[in-house]
Amino acid sequence: MVRTGSYSAAARSLGYTQPAVSQQMKALERDVGTPLFTRIGRGIRLTEAGEALTRHAGTILDSLAAAQQQIDAIARLRAGRVRVSAFPSACATLIPAMMASVAAEYPGIRIELTESEPPESLRLVTRGDCDIALSFSYPGHAAEVPEELAAEPLLEDPLTVLLPSGHPLARRRAVRLADLAGERWIAGCLRCRANFVHACAEEGFAPDIACTTDDNLVMQSLVASGVGIAMVPQLVLSFLCHGKVTGRIVEPHTRRRVGAYVLREQLRVPAVALVLGRLVAVAQRRVGC
C-alpha cells in the first residue's frame, strides 16, 4: 500500500480482496495502538507512525529472510555448530578422526572441542554447555547417567600395563596383575584410580602408588624414567611417544566401556546426529570395538 497508494491497488498486486487487505491494516493499527494511514481523496497517506513502521519493515523482512536462509543451511548441514567434550585419550584418538571425516564432507559444520573427565563431562551436557560428551565406565563401577541423556555405545577398551622396555615382564604378550604386586605405580584420573585399586584388591594386594596424573604424556615419561608402572586403557597405546615404554595386556582381562551421551531432544538436530554417527563409525574401525 505504501507503493500503490490505495487498498484496492494493493489488493490487486497481492492477489487478495480489498476488504481482506483493509481488515489486515485495521488489525495492525490495533496492535500498534495508533493510526498508520489517513485517507486523502481516494488514496491513502502514511501517518508519522506509519512512516516509522515502514522504515523498519524492510530491515525486519530482510532479517527474516536471512534467518530463514541460515535455518535452511543448518537443516541441510551446510552450516551448524556442535560442541563436544571428551576425556584425554578419546581427544587423542577418536575425536581427530571424527572431525576429519565431518570436515571432508561437510566443511560448514563447526566442531568445538573441550576436554573433561567423567562425570563432569555428563554434567556439561545436562547444563547445556556442550552437545555431546564422551565418557567411560568400568565393570562394577557403572556411571550414573541422568535420565534426560541418551547413550550411544562406542567401544570396549581393554586395559593394559605400561612397563619400561627393559622390565623383565615386558617380553610377555600379557602380564598378570598379581605378578606386579611389588611394583610402584602411577595412577590416573579419579575414576581410573578407583578401578585400578579395586582390581588390585581383587588380586589380593594394595598397590604402592608413587604419584598420580591424568596427563597421559606425563605418565609415559614417568614410566620411561623408571619412576613406576601404570595401568592404562588400550587407546593410550595409540599415541605412545616413548621408545622406552612398552604396553602389555593385563590379565585378568578388564575392559572399560566408552560411550557418547547427548540430550534426547538433541538427537533431532541434524549436525548433532551427524557427529554422533561419525563417532560410531570411527569407533567401529578401532580394535576392540
The topology (CATH level 3) of 7-76 is Arc Repressor Mutant, subunit A (1.10.10)
> Cell for 34?
495508533
d(CA 192, CA 147): 24
Please, are residues 230 and 236 in contact by the beta-carbon 8 Å criterion? Answer: no
Q: Is the pLDDT of residue 288 over 50?
A: no
Give 6's pLDDT tier (boundaries 50, 70, 90).
low
pTM value?
0.73
Fold classification of 157-255 (topology level): D-Maltodextrin-Binding Protein; domain 2 (3.40.190)
CA angle 34, 37, 41 (to 5 degrees): 145
User: In the chain, what percentage of residues exceed pLDDT 90?
Assistant: 56
pLDDT, one tens digit per residue, over 167-212 is 999 999 999 999 999 999 999 988 899 999 999 999 999 999 999 9
CATH number for the segment(s) 80-156+256-288: 3.40.190.10
Which residues are within 8 A (CB) of 183 and not within 5 positions of it... i.e. 6 or more apart? 207, 208, 228, 229
User: For residue 95, is pLDDT > 70?
Assistant: yes
Q: What is the pLDDT of residues 106-137, one digit of tens each?
A: 999 999 999 999 999 999 999 999 999 999 99
* Annotated domain spans of the chain: 7-76, 80-156+256-288, 157-255
